[in-house]
Structure 1
Amino acid sequence: MNLLDAIILGILQGLTEFLPVSSSGHLEIGKALLGLHMGGEESLLFTVVVHFATAAATLVVYRREVGKIISGLFQFKNNEETQFVGLIVLSMIPAGVVGLLFEKQIEALFEGKIAFVGAMLIVTGLLLFVADKSKASKKSITSLNAFLIGIAQAIAILPGISRSGATISTSVILGVDREQAARFSFLMVIPVIFGKILLDAGDMIQEVSAVENPTQVSFPVLLAGFASAFLVGIFACNLMIAMVKRAQLKYFSFYCFVVGFVSIVSYYYY
């Protein structure tokens, strides 16, 4: 992977992390189209870094809300901010369990399995289509809803299942207010990604330092991917918030159907 490859994939991640079309799925498709042959660990390393970039972009877009949450926590009382953090923690449990118990199996799915990615994109499209047909509601997120949304996030570890698409769609189907659904979806991923990076910090440093091996992803390449994903992510996050409010998820479902079908066909016939 060179700098240009990293920038292209970073842009792809920045757009597709927030648009409900599966960033991990598009990254795998992008790697295949660019002719990149990356091992599971190497591919997952780059994926984690660009996901970290879009988590940082989320912090920028929701900086006021994050500041309010932090301020509320330091009041040390059972206020709205403390309750919201409790819901976030509850939503993290399923993804945490899946990540810890099935890490090697998940790594294996990030090795160019384009047909599988295509099938999962079609599943994402179905979720979005159903959610778009759901009636608008002003309900808040409950503890049960937070856990169910967390299960959706855990399933979205699979490449091809959109994390934002799965969590927002699940929220909307459960009757949660659309604006709250988008806010919760984008904020709930931040601790998961930061937690993943902290857990893998040692392995990531070892991977980056192994520059004598040309198959490894070097630090400048990771930095280029991070920068492009971060900048594009800020734009895409604001765009997605506006589109969720206007109930325009069905357009993304059609896109997922087309890309998923093309991915499956191209895998078997080319």
Structure 2
Amino acid sequence: MTETDLVVAVLAGIVQGIVEWLPVSSQGNLSLFLSIAGTDPAVALQLALFLQLGTTVSAATYYREDIALATRSLPGWRPQRAYAEENALVSYIVVACLLTGIVGIPLYIFAVDLAGQLTGGVFIAAIGVLLILTGVVQIASESVSMGGRETPTLLDSVLVGAVQGLAILPGISRSGMTSSALLFRSYDPPAAFRLSFLLSIPASIGAAALTVTSSGGLPGISPTAALVALSVSAVVGYLTIDLLMRVVERIPFWFVCFGLGGLAVVGGGLVSVFVQPA
């Protein structure tokens, strides 16, 4: 691993560790960073998915009590009482992950193939458009009145799992889309973010496994660089999750999506015009 690779790995871990908790697409922003750093667009997409493993460790540590509660309920789980209060969390995670796979795997294959055909500038601009779309969804969800719901239903599981599958596309915020879907279903913001982040744990593990399987190994990164990036993202993610959860309640992140998305569209257009492919 060269000194440049080390710097990129550390910076990638920092970016992932911070933006994972914000509804502004960690995958999109990390793909942007890696593309700007000179990574091929298709590889940048795969790396952005793989490096979510680091913040998965952070989320699992932060929500360890919820995970323990769900684990203890497993022996008593019965299909006829799948969405009874004591079983609802386990059922929600299982059904939502199933829908995520059904929607997300075909989109992943399409996205990697498409990214491989795009120039760097067009890829950056495409991420910008999807970031703006995420902002539109967040504006719409903020207009919905909160009903105080906390326990997920089968419909919630199917809906959230499907929109999480869409987040395989860089620029579509996983946390933004899933929490917005829960807000549309009349959940209070704290409950919506809790259910969103709990679902991110198995989803991120599955996404990382998918990238490793499809690329035949670590996607475009050395084992040492991967370990550095994952370690940095895990540490930064754990240190920032509580702070950023409080910030989420105060800042309209649709504004952040519009700002980053607009810059990406303009910047990608300029790159396409002034930077010729080799």
TM-score, structure 1 as length reference: 0.86
Establish whether residue 148 from structure 1 lines up as the match of residue 159 from structure 2: yes
SS in 2 for 1:136: coil
Establish whether residue 84 from structure 1 lines up as the match of residue 84 from structure 2: no
CA distance in 2, matches of 1:110, 1:53: 24
Which residue does 1:226 correspond to in 2?
230
Q: By how many angstroms is 1:236 displaced? A: 3.4
One-letter identity of the residue aligned with 2:11 = I
CA distance in 2, matches of 1:145, 1:249: 26
Which residue does 2:275 correspond to in 1?
none
Q: By how many angstroms is 1:201 displaced? A: 4.8
Which residue does 1:262 correspond to in 2?
263
Q: By how many angstroms is 1:95 displaced? A: 1.9
CA distance in 1, matches of 2:180, 2:77: 33
C-alpha contact 1:28 1:110 (8 A) present in aligned 2: no
CA distance in 2, matches of 1:61, 1:99: 26
C-alpha contact 1:56 1:230 (8 A) present in aligned 2: yes
Establish whether residue 54 from structure 1 lines up as the match of residue 55 from structure 2: yes
SS in 1 for 2:149: coil
C-alpha contact 1:21 1:124 (8 A) present in aligned 2: yes
CA distance in 2, matches of 1:46, 1:199: 11
- In the TM superposition, what are the counterparts of 1:75-224 in structure 2 within 5 Å? 75-76=76-77, 78=81, 80-110=85-115, 112=120, 113-140=123-150, 141-199=152-210, 201-202=212-213, 206-207=217-218, 216-224=220-228
Q: By how many angstroms is 1:207 displaced? A: 4.0
Q: By how many angstroms is 1:39 displaced? A: 5.6
Q: By how many angstroms is 1:227 displaced? A: 0.9
TM-score, structure 2 as length reference: 0.84
Q: By how many angstroms is 1:103 displaced? A: 3.5
- In the TM superposition, what are the counterparts of 1:5-24 in structure 2 within 5 Å? 5-24=8-27
For residues 176 and 249 of structure 1, do their structure 2 counterparts lie closer, same or farther at Cα, with a shift above 3 Å needed?
farther
C-alpha contact 1:73 1:81 (8 A) present in aligned 2: no
SS in 2 for 1:80: coil
Identical pairs, percent: 29
CA distance in 2, matches of 1:50, 1:83: 29
Q: By how many angstroms is 1:185 displaced? A: 0.3
C-alpha contact 1:164 1:186 (8 A) present in aligned 2: yes
- In the TM superposition, what are the counterparts of 1:25-64 in structure 2 within 5 Å? 25-34=28-37, 36-38=38-40, 40=42, 42-64=43-65
One-letter identity of the residue aligned with 1:127 = V
Q: Does 235-244 or 186-195 show the bigger shift?
A: 235-244
Q: By how many angstroms is 1:218 displaced? A: 0.5
One-letter identity of the residue aligned with 1:255 = V
C-alpha contact 1:68 1:81 (8 A) present in aligned 2: no
C-alpha contact 2:104 2:166 (8 A) present in aligned 1: no
For residues 2 and 81 of structure 1, do their structure 2 counterparts lie closer, same or farther at Cα, with a shift above 3 Å needed?
farther
Q: By how many angstroms is 1:76 displaced? A: 4.7
C-alpha contact 2:31 2:41 (8 A) present in aligned 1: no
RMSD, matched Cα: 2.3
Q: By how many angstroms is 1:123 displaced? A: 0.8
CA distance in 1, matches of 2:230, 2:62: 17
SS in 1 for 2:242: helix
CA distance in 1, matches of 2:5, 2:169: 26
CA distance in 1, matches of 2:45, 2:125: 18
Aligned length in residues: 258
For residues 14-51 of structure 1, give each alpha carbon's deviation from its aligned partner in whole angstroms, at most 9, with x where no partner exists.
111111111111012112332x13262x3344223311
C-alpha contact 2:35 2:41 (8 A) present in aligned 1: no
One-letter identity of the residue aligned with 1:264 = V
C-alpha contact 2:27 2:171 (8 A) present in aligned 1: yes
C-alpha contact 2:56 2:200 (8 A) present in aligned 1: yes
